[in-house]
Amino acid sequence: MLFKDLRKGLSVTLKYLFTHAVTCQYPTQRLNVPERGRWLHALNLHEESQKIKCIDCGLCEEVCPSKCIEIIPTENEDHTKSPAIYNIDLGRCCFCGLCVEVCPELAISMSDKYELAGYDREKFVFTKEDLIKVGIEYNNKLQKKEGAL
């Protein structure tokens, strides 16, 4: 058969000419990230009291292979323990997710926020307030999603 290879090749090309494009036109267009993806951390609050779930047991700090978590605890008025400072240095974080896995209080989880590039190393340090904000936003999003379902 004459031009067998050429015909075969062209047919593939022609097929792709009429199929849907796979390239995502980032940043105008965004992909949905997988549900269990490991992106930016979030600190969660108790739904009723709106108090931070973290009790500073120090397990995430200990388990973190890149030692990027820093917690300074404080004693609350009701003699419970919570973090006064909770910093994650994303410049060091390797997004292994061990902190989430080890957390006994489900206080830390991971959100779907993956755009973490920056111009300043210092801005890679996410504080407790930053992470709580992420948590609130992500949880609201999840709730909306559940509502839609």
Binding-site sequence positions for [4Fe-4S] cluster: 54, 57, 60, 64, 93, 96, 99, 103
Residue 104 in contact with other proteins, rule: CB under 8 A: yes
Q: What is the CA radius of gyration of the chain?
A: 22
**E strand or H helix at 72:** strand 69-75
Residue 80 in contact with other proteins, rule: CB under 8 A: yes
Binding mask 114-143 for other proteins (x = CB under 8 A): ------------------------------
Residue pair 134/42 in contact (Cβ under 8 Å)? The answer is: yes
H helices of the chain, in order, are 4-18, 59-63, 98-102, 128-148
Binding mask 40-79 for other proteins (x = CB under 8 A): ---------------xxxxx-xx----------xxx---x
Q: On the CB side of 41, how many CA atoms lie within 13 Å of its CA?
A: 30
H helices of 19-148, in order, are 59-63, 98-102, 128-148
Nearer CB in complex with other proteins: 11/76: 76
Nearer CB in complex with other proteins: 105/112: 105
- Measured from the CB of residue 104, what is the shortest distance to other proteins in angstroms? 6
Beta-bridge partner residues of 125 = 89
Binding site for other proteins (CB under 8 A): 55-59, 61-62, 73-75, 79-81, 104-105
